[in-house]
Chains A and B, each alone.
Chain A
Amino acid sequence: MEKENVIVTNELTKRFGYFTAVDKISFAVQKGEIFGFIGANGAGKTTAMRMLCGLSLPTSGTATVAGFDVYKQNEQIKKNIGYMSQKFSLYEDLTIRENIRFYAGIYGLEDRRIREKTALLLQQLHMEDQQGTLVRALPLGWKQKLAFSIAIVHDPAIVFLDEPTGGVDPITRREFWSLIYEAAARGITIFVTTHYMDEAEYCDRVSIMVDGRIDALDKPASLMQQYNSASMDGVFLQLARKATRTEDLIE
């Protein structure tokens, strides 16, 4: 039985002047799926993701996120998604508890619900004893895990993760991915961009962007077979070699 699609795009395009950052991408993401979004720097991943989050208006094409149109139903989309940016997105001068409270609060959660969620989340992350610690004092890996848990504190339909594990050691990355699996098991769709090809293998399906286009989209195993490679690294290198862009002109 086909599962319902939570993200559907059709020829979605974003141009900045003469530069086409995202070039007619079409794909669908199913509910509860872990969808990897891979590409070299400047391939257009971040721009594509921003359009889906309602931060950036597409130039042409169509897209719906959680059933809402990205052109018109921006506000509804925002209520139904979570977002973790590649820059670290917690407030360093606030404590763990205050950060949770703030993000839960701006999504309009009830006070009672915020308390329940805070307790649950602290327990899950084994951070009960540190709840009064300023985020500044936490190791990077902890911050990352906390940022992810906070991004889904309001139980969104979809969470967008923009290179969430940059600069983190392999062990913490594994722990981070176990959090992702837990969230996916609860029915939250995960849309994740990454540089790490081992992480690409953790995804249910992977799309590889080259120069603003999606050049490959399938299960990691199928891609490896198709490109006759033992790892996602090999697949990515074969595709990325075709790229003509070098720098990310947007950032």
Chain B
Amino acid sequence: MKQFVIFVKKEWLHIWRDRRTLFILLFMPIIQIVLYGFALTNEVKNSRIAVFDQSRDEATRAITGEIGASRYFNLVKNVYSYQGVEATFRKGEIRLAVVFPRGFRYDLLHGNHAQVQLIADASDPNTANTLTNYASSIINNYQQTLQPAATLPYTIKTQVRMLYNPELKGAYNFVPGVMALVLMLVCAMMTSIAIVKEKEMGTMEVILVSPLKPFRIIIAKTIPYLLVSMVNIASILLLSVYALDVPITGNLGLLIAESIVFTITSLSVGILISNTAKTQQTAMFTSMMSLFLPTLLFSGFMFPIENMPAPLRVISNLVPAKWYFIIVKDVMIKGLGFTAVWRETLILVSMTAVLLGVSIYKFKIRLI
């Protein structure tokens, strides 16, 4: 046990002496949270739009006023021809154009089939979709205020309630995502590199000749990274609660316990990689290819898994981060208890057992 402690201390010294890496490890999650939280948001605000009003009547002015007043849009230009609309799009000045045809108000009141054209820059399809939806709903609202009494005999009114995230904040999605990504990276990539480094330096051989048990060596190497991960979890949670107003709805203890389970899964992945990699570069590359990208792509944090073709959906099941992402969302955002996430937890635990089993089997006490 004393030898074990000495080893952990030594490992800690490696991390402590390499200030630059330590700095990156501790600040990466903070920077990611800040980036996703404030800069890389996919919420639509103040999109620049233009209006091509061929009717110029009371109704079109009212609708234009409503749209311009909304926090989603910023009316930057009035254009007077379709050529003008196209030119403005080409220059990239606007994301959306609203076109009212001639005689809009007359059609609205008499013909009952008034039309508005929404032209969106669909080179960014998601934003285009969002913008047209917002604009349509503003126009619908106007219609309702115009004819409150005109109740049709049969109407279906949809009432939408956004559960768990009424303000539709992106942070509710990316905080769990960043947690999964950071833990995977710190635990798996850093430990695999740390182990392979000793092989490369030749110190692993000397340690293996010593009476230390090989598997204890590996465990000792992972412990400092486990601690770093705990600090990261704390900083992510504090930031999300106090800077991004994402509350921890569920049980904090459960959230931390689940995070520890996932950390151990990640550490086992790292150990497995270190078993096969011979150089630090290989370890780094294997980690990037087998962890970073799949975590980003298949955790469900960036791209919805439901929309993927079946083979990719199957692959996504092998990515531990996917399950952890679900757990964090359920516990942290939805406030669910262990009964809701036991299945995912079981999957993580089984993955860990398999990974560790394979690692122990493959880990060579004798080098050749």
Contact = CB atoms under 8 A, between A and B. Distances in A.
Contacts of B6: 101-102, 105-106
A89 interface: yes
Given A56-B366, A93-B13, A106 B205 contact: no
B13 A90 contact: no
Interface residues of B, number: 23
A194 B211 CA distance: 26
Interface string A89-115: 111111000100111011110000000
30 contacts: A54-B209, A54-B366, A55-B209, A55-B368, A56-B367, A56-B368, A78-B210, A78-B211, A81-B209, A83-B205, A83-B210, A86-B202, A87-B202, A89-B201, A91-B14, A91-B203, A93-B14, A93-B18, A98-B10, A98-B13, A101-B6, A102-B6, A102-B7, A103-B206, A105-B2, A106-B210, A106-B212, A108-B2, A108-B211, A250-B368
Given A54-B209, A106-B210, 6 more contacts: A55-B367, A86-B202, A93-B14, A103-B210, A107-B210, A160-B209
A89 B202 contact: yes
Contact of A87 (B13, B205, B368): B205
A84 interface: yes
Contact of A91 (B10, B210, B367): B10
Given A47-B368, A55-B368, A85 B210 contact: no
Interface of B: 2-3, 6-7, 10, 13-14, 17-18, 201-203, 205-212, 366-368
Most A Cβ at <10 Å: residue of B3, B201, B209, B210:
B209
Contact of B3 (A55, A56, A108): A108
Contacts of A84: 206
Nearest to B368: A56
A53 B209 contact: yes
A98 B11 CA distance: 11
B366 A75 contact: no
A226 B277 CA distance: 48
Contacts of B2: 105, 108
A195 interface: no
A132 to B, nearest CB: 13
A98 B16 CA distance: 13
A245 interface: no
A79 interface: yes
Contacts of A86: 202
A57 interface: yes
B211 A106 contact: yes
A94 B207 CA distance: 15
A75 B211 contact: yes
Contacts, number: 84
Nearest to A21: B368
A89 B2 CA distance: 22
A75 B214 CA distance: 11
A219 interface: no
A134 B7 CA distance: 18
A251 to B, nearest CB: 10
A197 to B, nearest CB: 25
A212 B38 CA distance: 66
A50 interface: yes
A89 B367 CA distance: 16
A196 interface: no
Nearest to B6: A105
A79 B211 contact: yes
Most A Cβ at <10 Å: residue of B2, B205, B212:
B205
A83 B13 contact: no
Contacts of B212: 106
A88 B14 CA distance: 17
A103 B127 CA distance: 60
Interface string A131-151: 000100000000000000001
A105 B6 CA distance: 6
B223 to A, nearest CB: 15
A88 B206 CA distance: 10
Most A Cβ at <10 Å: residue of B2, B17, B207, B211:
B211
